Amino acid sequence: MLRYIIRRLLWSIPTLLIVTFLVYVAIRVGTNPVESFKRTNIHATKKQIAKYKEVNGLYDGFNGYLKGYWEWVKKFVTGPDHWPKTIKGKKAVWPDLKNALMNSIRLGMVAVFFGIVLGNMLGIAAARKPGGFRDGFINGGALLGIAVPPYVTGFFMQLVFSIYWARWFGHTLLPTSGIYPPGHKGFDIVLMAKYMIAPVIVVAIQSISTYARYMRSSLLDVTNADYLRTARSKGISERRVLVHHALRNALIPVTTLAFLEIGGVVAGLIITEVVFSYPGMGYYFLKAYESGEFPKLLPWMVLIMLSVIIFNLFADILYAVLDPRIRLDD
């Protein structure tokens, strides 16, 4: 196991370098940071533009891209204090990126927690009696939850619990946007939780629906396996067969989904964050891309790549824990 982990971590280094270089080129081409600098600093002189290109490693030609990328990597690994400043305002990148990361993790992990717990419970309940009313109801509800886009659910919640609720009862039940009310200062977990309710529900609906479908399908695949028939023939109760035998193997594909989803949380929940103006990683990315903020996009990119690689590794390790037949060192 340890040898496998070390091997995967070593392979992740060239993978990370290749992927981030390709995204680096795509971001440079897509945002054109020199033009973004000119738009933001309309009175900039040629000397200032040249200085900006030198500081950010914006060299021309393919070799220029390689040189600029390598210079940026060296600055990145030395820590946030050495990262290039933003185009607008020349501010440090890390404080805003850190806040966006924490906000997305907070929102995503709460939603994923409810998704995993409730989704798997519903999937198990549906698989216990396939074809019955309960199975049809849960399966139909899960299909509906997956089919309805998050922006539709988000707008619906804003309409009902904010706009119409204010008309019916004279006050809003749930806030429509942000993480705190305008002008708020300091940390207030109760107020933050109130602002998170609506976006968490929107994300959790899709998450619960997906896990319910996966768990139901996975359990049905293993229900009639030979080892389960053998267990039943020994007089083991159906509940024990389900919990101690079927569920363990059924969790393997669900584990893949869970770790991919957790890894994706770092990338941000773009649609939900935009609908609710929630300042997470997805909202951060869109705002940075719209304004051509090249220095803000590159650290965001690396965090996403690291998240995907690390959580894929966790998923592979957990495979071996759930199924002893899987040997990672082979």
Render pLDDT for 39-97 as a digit per residue (tens, 0 to 9): 877 888 888 888 878 777 788 888 888 988 888 888 888 888 888 888 777 889 999 99
Task: Label residue 122 by pLDDT band (50, 70, 90).
Answer: very high
Query: Can you say whether residue 223 is alpha, beta or left, with left for phi > 0 and alpha for psi between -120 and 50 degrees?
Result: alpha
Task: Label residue 121 by pLDDT band (50, 70, 90).
Answer: very high
Q: List CB contacts of 245: < 8 A, sequence separation 6 or more.
A: 227, 228, 231
Q: Evaluate if residue 330 carries a pLDDT over 70.
A: no
The percent of residues in the chain predicted with pLDDT above 70, rounded, is: 92
For residues 161 and 172, the answer to whether their CB atoms sit within 8 Å is yes
Q: How far apart are CA 203 and CA 241, in angstroms?
A: 33
pLDDT digits (tens, 9 = 90+) for 208-248: 999 999 888 888 887 777 777 777 777 777 677 776 667 77
Tokens of 231: 């267990």
Helix (H, G, I), strand (E, B) or coil at 88: coil
| Res 60: pLDDT | 80
Mean pLDDT on 170-194? 86
Q: Name the one residue in this structure whose structure tokens are 């899987």.
A: 326
How confident is the prediction for the chain on average, in pLDDT? 84
For residues 254 and 211, the answer to whether their CB atoms sit within 8 Å is yes
Mean pLDDT on 278-300? 87
Q: At what angle do helices 247-265 and 189-223 cross, to 10 degrees?
A: 140
Mean pLDDT on 121-135? 88
Amino acid at 50: A
What structural domains does the chain harbor?
2-82 (no CATH), 94-290 (1.10.3720.10)
Q: List CB contacts of 96: < 8 A, sequence separation 6 or more.
A: 284, 296
